[in-house]
A and B are shown apart, each in its own frame.
Chain A
């Protein structure tokens, strides 16, 4: 079962390894990206020592934020850019889920992997629809944004959420 752990670490290091390649000629941003990777590794090291959930989510967030930094010179409306970005994001998400479930439940079910890959595919499809069938800016854009914010607020404040940090 250690294969899951090896795979999860492989995904993270692959993700962190590809990030500097994306900004190779732009040295200023390269420094920023390397700083982000460094911060990720420091938080990762701390997490391996302290084993606190907050640090786990911290280093993953740092790795996630480094991705848009590394891709800032690419055209954000290009489907190729989005595709590369989503592939890298999938690597990071797979790392997160594999490591978390392996540590907590000593296994990861294929359902989780399928959902992660499906989410990336659906995200890509959403962007594709947005690019080729835009709902328009202005009024409709504002309504869509408000709806999104309300949905997010509902998700955050819903009463039946029973998540506990100190759970086993």
Chain B
């Protein structure tokens, strides 16, 4: 505005007329009014209800503004614009559509006076975080069980006979057998004391091996595969935390990360917290061997490994075969994007994946999971 005023004065000399000077007077009045109005300033406070949410939840943010002027406030989630005279309360509803950790680090505040001549700029240090956990599917019973169990009592039927609920056999009574297990009908039939035998239920170690390395440059495909993989891992972790087995996690993504097997809800929360950080912006050059090394180095030999991977890397099938050879029991869940990309590169990628999948089917249990359908519907029919 001051520039406009100066140009008008100059133009007045060029035209040799006082008219431009007269016409510039409202401009100088605007500058004067802006000076009289004072300094623009706004202080912002933010609050929200909970710290933990699940993907798809709605959060209400409450902003309290004090000050005056046109404002443009931006934090990690929201951008607020408008005009404040003294005080203003703003409520903002946001749907959290991506899992992950949202850390509020800084807030940009930009305020102008009503005539746009004076500016207040502040990059305020911000605090707080929102944890958005991946959505899970409810799984009543997983029919896939580990083939090898530990000696501690648990939920998985083992090959050993002992204390349990599942009836397996009848045999002759030997001293030391419990009277409760005598099968009286069989005893009457054979005229000898007979006892029931039960399948012993034992616990097992389960390792969720999550392969979320980024091979796609396109954000859409990567996000869909990542969402599916992480949701599958979270679903399985939630289910396993309800059983009496130990659950561990190995993530191959930006780097390699792992959680040693633990029991119950603690394991679930540890895994969930670790899953918040798996999203990557960079393409990965990490070989699958790192994952194989972590599993074979830190997890017990008889562990049940649930590998969740789109099987896009060339070295994955060899690593799986090697783990099987070492004595691990492996279930492969491979999320697929069916019908995506008809270009040559996508077709080659799909063909390579099919070759890997068929090779793995020879050695391990494999679930080829079309991510358009829920994981539980496929796992229900698996054995």
Contact = CB atoms under 8 A, between A and B. Distances in A.
Interface of A: 57, 61, 64-65, 67-69, 71-72, 74, 76-77, 81-82, 85-86, 89-90, 93, 97, 100-101, 104-107, 109, 111-112, 115-116, 118-120, 122-123, 126-127, 152, 155-156, 160-164, 167-168
A118 B33 contact: yes
Contact of A109 (B5, B8, B20, B114): B114
Contact of B72 (A77, A81, A168): A168
B61 interface: no
Contact of B6 (A81, A123, A152, A164): A152
A164 B11 CA distance: 27
Nearest to B20: A68
Contacts, number: 124
Given A77-B18, A122-B26, A160-B39, 17 more contacts: A64-B7, A65-B11, A68-B8, A72-B15, A76-B18, A76-B19, A97-B115, A109-B83, A115-B30, A116-B115, A120-B29, A155-B31, A161-B119, A162-B120, A162-B121, A163-B118, A164-B121
B74 interface: yes
B377 interface: no
A141 to B, nearest CB: 12
A115 B74 contact: no
Contacts of A93: 26, 30
A119 B23 contact: no
Interface of B: 2-8, 11-12, 15, 17-20, 22-23, 25-31, 33, 35, 37, 39, 70-72, 74, 81-83, 85, 108, 110, 114-121
Contact of A105 (B72, B115, B118): B72
A52 to B, nearest CB: 16
Contacts of A127: 22, 25
A167 B73 CA distance: 12
Contacts of B3: 57, 61
A100 B26 CA distance: 19
Nearest to A111: B114
A57 B1 CA distance: 9
A85 B19 contact: yes
A64 to B, nearest CB: 6
Contacts of B115: 97, 112, 115-116
A126 B18 contact: no
A108 B200 CA distance: 75
22 contacts: A65-B11, A68-B8, A68-B17, A76-B19, A86-B23, A89-B23, A93-B26, A100-B116, A101-B70, A105-B72, A109-B114, A111-B114, A115-B37, A115-B115, A119-B29, A123-B26, A152-B5, A152-B6, A163-B118, A167-B119, A168-B74, A168-B108
Nearest to A67: B23
Contact of A64 (B8, B31, B72, B85): B8
